[in-house]
Chains A and B, each alone.
Chain A
């Protein structure tokens, strides 16, 4: 979301909220019991949809600029590649160890691959703002991270489409439901653009956006479809069709972290590391595959882009941060498929986010320094915080 500074606010991905939620939640200290957690489910549903809407608004836009077409394609390819690199080993692993079969296995592996394929946009911005980095590599990474959300969101929309409620009056194939997911988002987005009208009225725009998005979340939940897919499409459509797209982005930007932090807290509280007997192996496999995939991505970027060349091999590790979309997908799975599948997807997404927090921002800072995009001497973080 353009124009809203995040410098000085906690960790890059917000992983501390996930950890806090986990510690307070029913599986560690138990200060928040399962029954109490369930009362927050509607809030979690709305938060998941709203974050997807914000991602849609900012899709393919870095700061105030539209991302270059090549970067958008690159971002899409990177997340597709990462998703595939996660899917294959996990598929092979779960054939032997996981007590899931048939489509449940597809849901589990596909959910993890979708949740863990992104590089969070917050991390790149956080590092660049905190250390005052500017240059072509920062721009490239910013655009890639803003453009890599499409494949995982489509994957989630398709996966959810296979599990629509029984006894529907119509027989629609799963691909048809996936189209309904996207089509509904298109309709809602077009309605939002129409109702926002010619003159931008900030107050009225809030009512329209909130009403349409909450209604969209409710209807997709009713039909068992992915609210992430619908709300993301709605956000993209509104941003394309409305002449007030810049003002809208500016208007909703402050809600990003205000919604994300409670969402991460709730997601953390939902995490159950005992979801599946073999969850440790799944976590290990996912993290290893993700490190490998991002490492290969870093090498490829270095070979393809002059801006990335001087950053060295550490660039790949700098792409390991995950956060908003990962946890949103994880939580959506936990709410939609309560039990071992949803819990495992969420636990894996949380573990990947926490691991990425340890490695990603530091590696990214090193890469940007090697690329000459962080001016020495660096601003000491504590001094920077004092300014903030």
Chain B
């Protein structure tokens, strides 16, 4: 993640050798410590895990850069290797403890994403955005529902479902397939410092698609409920909850945005503390009120950018604060990947992830053609929409809780597919930005930054 003002010079072979050696030493040190004292108090393991993931994630991201892979892949790889499914340097307790960092990271991601949405830019690309939203949402949802039905024989929990239940479950799977990853989009944007129509279009689409997913998820759940559980009746109660959720999130996000605008303008100092307090405190409050955290923070960032002159200052402050948090966030996500599950479900997961990618590509081409986008957008607009991460897992969790009759199978399959998309998606998006010529030619700064404390 970039941030800060100092640009890095290109790394030489000596630097790479030092980084690789340091990485090996860090792994060796933690390996020795965990083998010497395998069981410990949770807090101790968590402290060590934070430092270890921060450093190894950073170093791995530097090393994977040699082969053109994005930094996110490095963070994920470090987490996977160190996590409970490979070397077990970081135990499950520590991984669970570290997920509290997620609320901070998601708040920063949503704030930054919202702050990158400028009304002027949105107006210019409103036609593209509208077509992409319709096609990428409805076509992908419908196509993936059909794919789910077609491959049902290979999905353990789907073989016993009745026709109606299968249709309902397929609809839910289709909804899951249209979730994207704002974090991966912003992560790649931050690394490549890309500027151009592909980057702008992808960012606008991914950030606004959160609202679409929330609405479609509510609709799909209303439609699927009587199909999956014949004893239940058709109820529009979900839409009432949805209205409460969306309106409340927008209202609270607007208030928060106005507060942040005033703070940045009048005080402007100690923004790190404000972001940390918001990330933890405000996220708790939003959860308590059953509002959509991502939407509320996104609206807040949007308000700061478009209703004040503090947008650039605000984005810079978030980038500086977020860089450390993002490394830990993605490395923790890597450690959280259930490789055993993936090993078990990989054939069907590959089939579902592959078909989603293909359908996303077709939808991208179609939407671009209808919107009359420039050729470069037609070619690459789909690539940033493959990544899935926390939002998809959140949706899977909601579905699992709402339809206990499906058992844990639905979520397990979702975890396996999201894992693949999480690994492949960022690579594709960076490749697209590089090929589209939108990535900055300046060498990137990958080591995390913290704003220098004011003197």
Query: Contact residues of A with B, CB < 8 Å?
Result: 4, 41-42, 45-46, 165, 168-170, 184, 187, 191, 194-195, 197, 199, 201-204, 206-208, 210-219, 221-224, 251, 254-255, 258
B55 is contacted by which of A41, A184, A212, A254 (Cβ under 8 Å)?
Answer: A212
Question: Are A211 and B58 in touch, CB under 8 angstroms?
Answer: yes
Question: Are A203 and B4 in touch, CB under 8 angstroms?
Answer: yes
B44 on the interface (CB 8 Å rule)? yes
- Collect the chain A residues with CB atoms within 8 Å of residue B49's CB: 218
Question: Are B58 and A207 in touch, CB under 8 angstroms?
Answer: yes
- Collect the chain B residues with CB atoms within 8 Å of residue A255's CB: 453
**Chain B interface, DSSP helix/strand/loop, else mixed:** helix
Separation of A201 and B45 alpha carbons in the complex (Å):
30
B15 is contacted by which of A41, A197, A218, A258 (Cβ under 8 Å)?
Answer: A197
**Chain A interface, DSSP helix/strand/loop, else mixed:** helix
Q: How distant is A322 from chain B, measured CB to nearest CB, in Å?
A: 26
Q: Can you list 25 A-B contacts (CB < 8 A)? A: A41-B43, A46-B47, A168-B36, A194-B18, A201-B6, A201-B8, A202-B4, A203-B320, A204-B6, A204-B448, A204-B449, A206-B449, A207-B55, A208-B447, A210-B51, A211-B52, A211-B58, A214-B47, A215-B51, A219-B48, A221-B48, A222-B33, A222-B40, A222-B44, A223-B37
**Chain A CB within 10 Å, residue with most, of B19, B30, B40, B48:** B48
Question: Are B450 and A206 in touch, CB under 8 angstroms?
Answer: yes
Of chain A, the residue at the smallest CB distance from B49 is: A218
Question: Are A210 and B3 in touch, CB under 8 angstroms?
Answer: no
**Chain A CB within 10 Å, residue with most, of B19, B47, B50:** B47
Q: How distant is B291 from chain A, measured CB to nearest CB, in Å?
A: 26
- Collect the chain B residues with CB atoms within 8 Å of residue A206's CB: 448-450, 452
- Collect the chain A residues with CB atoms within 8 Å of residue B449's CB: 203-204, 206-207
Ranked nearest first, the 8 interchain pairs of A and B with the lowest CB-CB distance are A218-B48, A215-B51, A214-B51, A203-B449, A203-B4, A211-B55, A204-B447, A207-B448
Question: Are A187 and B29 in touch, CB under 8 angstroms?
Answer: yes
Q: How distant is A333 from chain B, measured CB to nearest CB, in Å?
A: 16
- Collect the chain A residues with CB atoms within 8 Å of residue B29's CB: 184, 187, 219
B22 on the interface (CB 8 Å rule)? yes
Q: How distant is B78 from chain A, measured CB to nearest CB, in Å?
A: 12
B445 on the interface (CB 8 Å rule)? yes
B123 on the interface (CB 8 Å rule)? no
**Inter-chain pairs besides A203-B5, A214-B47, 11 sampled, C-beta below 8 Å:** A45-B44, A165-B37, A202-B452, A203-B4, A203-B445, A204-B449, A207-B447, A207-B450, A211-B55, A219-B29, A258-B453
- Collect the chain A residues with CB atoms within 8 Å of residue B445's CB: 201, 203-204
- Collect the chain B residues with CB atoms within 8 Å of residue A203's CB: 3-6, 320, 445, 447-450, 452
- Collect the chain B residues with CB atoms within 8 Å of residue A258's CB: 453
B54 is contacted by which of A169, A197, A214 (Cβ under 8 Å)?
Answer: A214
B46 is contacted by which of A42, A169, A211 (Cβ under 8 Å)?
Answer: A42
B441 on the interface (CB 8 Å rule)? no
A216 is contacted by which of B5, B36, B51, B450 (Cβ under 8 Å)?
Answer: B51
B66 on the interface (CB 8 Å rule)? no
B455 on the interface (CB 8 Å rule)? yes
- Collect the chain B residues with CB atoms within 8 Å of residue A213's CB: 51
- Collect the chain A residues with CB atoms within 8 Å of residue B6's CB: 201-204
Separation of A199 and B9 alpha carbons in the complex (Å):
9
B26 on the interface (CB 8 Å rule)? yes
A169 is contacted by which of B36, B320, B448, B450 (Cβ under 8 Å)?
Answer: B36
